[in-house]
Amino acid sequence: MVYLEAVANPKTTYKFPTNEETDPTCSRVSAEPPRSSFELLDKNISRSTIHTTMMEPSVDSKYAIHVACREGHLSTVESLLNANPKLASRRDEDDRLPLHWAVSYNQLPILSLLIQSPSFDVDAQDGSGWTSLMMAASLKDGDEVVDLLLRKGADVNKKNNNGQTALHFTASKANLDTAKKLVAAGASARVKDKRQQLALHRAAAVGSVPMMKLLLENKSPVNATDVDGMTALHHAVCEGHGDAALVLLKTGAEWDKRDRDGKTALDLAPDVNVRSFVVQSAEMEGIELA
């Protein structure tokens, strides 16, 4: 995994992930860059898995409040804000607010404190365009944080620098309950990122059938293609998710649609077993893949 470093002071360094974990969308081995939906600053790792190599700074450190928010030191955050309320709007070297660190580490008590600040902006973005809601949507146990941000009016369709919304990230994590909340709050399942990928592409790539069904029920185009000409079906088969592929086929996915290399989804099957499963399962549903 690759990280971007944010220098708090000459003696203190902490790291924030660039999200370069295994990409859930299909990529092929070639001399070209990976054909994935997530670039350096947008992959499939939540802000909750931030790793650090920092030493605890003194309370007078320039970014002490960011550290306290990350570590869950509520009393320290309270003391710092009492001494200087403007610290709530201080941005670190990567343009992140204390708010972003509190949410990334699922620090609900600290978030509850920060939202009381006069400068609180629920849709504030960091240097990569991530909002707190995007970060919360990536958490496995972030329901309460998501709920609070939505109550504060978070924009569910806000995009980061790569064009992704919170729904893209929760789809990657297969956080179905969070996805339902986002959709109920008005999140669109039809938003494409800069690689022309929908949340559906991500859900298909990780094989989350419940997530796919939710997105399809909310008008996500089943045959939409990304910049590589790949549909959700391509991604599902490529990653070996036969059950997900069958759901897409039953919903009307075009099995003979070709990507930019002229490949159908079946051409991308990782092995004969996956291919046979998809073909045989489709035939049992009355769908001929020939």
What SS3 class is residue 6?
A: strand
Residue with tokens 């924009």: 155
Question: Residue 280: inside a domain, yes or no?
Answer: yes
Q: Give 9's strand partners.
A: 12
Radius of gyration, alpha carbons of the chain: 21
- Give the pLDDT of residue 26: 54
User: The domain containing residue 236 runs over which residues?
Assistant: 203-290
Signed CA dihedral, 213, 219, 222, 224: sign only: negative
Q: Is the pLDDT of residue 12 over 50?
A: no
Question: Residue 220: inside a domain, yes or no?
Answer: yes
Q: Would you list the DSSP string of 202-256?
A: HHHHTT-HHHHHHHHHTT--TT---TTS--HHHHHHHTT-HHHHHHHHHTT--TT
Measure the CA–CA gap between 149 and 166, rounded to whole angstroms.
12
Q: Give 6's strand partners.
A: 14
Pick 245 or 21 by higher pLDDT.
245
Burial class (CB in 10 A: 0-12, 13-18, 19+), 262: exposed
Segment holding 4, helix H or strand E: strand 3-9
Question: Residue 191: inside a domain, yes or no?
Answer: no
Question: Residue 34: inside a domain, yes or no?
Answer: no
- Give the pLDDT of residue 61: 87
Tens-place pLDDT, residues 170-193: 999 999 999 999 999 999 999 999
> CA-based angle 171:47:82, to the nearest 5?
130
Averaged over 66-94, what is the pLDDT?
97
Q: Give 4's strand partners.
A: 16
Q: How many CB atoms sit inside 10 A of residue 193's CB?
A: 23
Burial class (CB in 10 A: 0-12, 13-18, 19+), 106: buried
- Give the pLDDT of residue 179: 98
- Give the pLDDT of residue 171: 98
Question: Residue 255: inside a domain, yes or no?
Answer: yes
Tokens representing residue 5 in the block? 């470093």
Q: Which amino acid is at 18?
A: T
What SS3 class is residue 284?
A: helix
Dihedral angle of Cα 6, 77, 136, 125, to the nearest 10 degrees? -50
Q: Is the pLDDT of residue 41 over 90?
A: no
Question: Residue 53: inside a domain, yes or no?
Answer: no
Provide the CATH number for the domain around residue 247.
Answer: 1.25.40.20
Measure the CA–CA gap between 232 and 249, rounded to whole angstroms.
10
Q: Which has the closest alpha carbon to 4: 44, 62, 52, 37? A: 52
- Give the pLDDT of residue 16: 38
- Give the pLDDT of residue 25: 57
Tens-place pLDDT, residues 127-152: 999 999 999 999 999 999 999 999 99
Question: Residue 76: inside a domain, yes or no?
Answer: no
Q: Are 135 and 99 in contact (CB under 8 A)?
A: no
As for how many domains the chain has, the answer is 1
Question: Residue 250: inside a domain, yes or no?
Answer: yes
Q: How many CB atoms sit inside 10 A of residue 90's CB?
A: 17
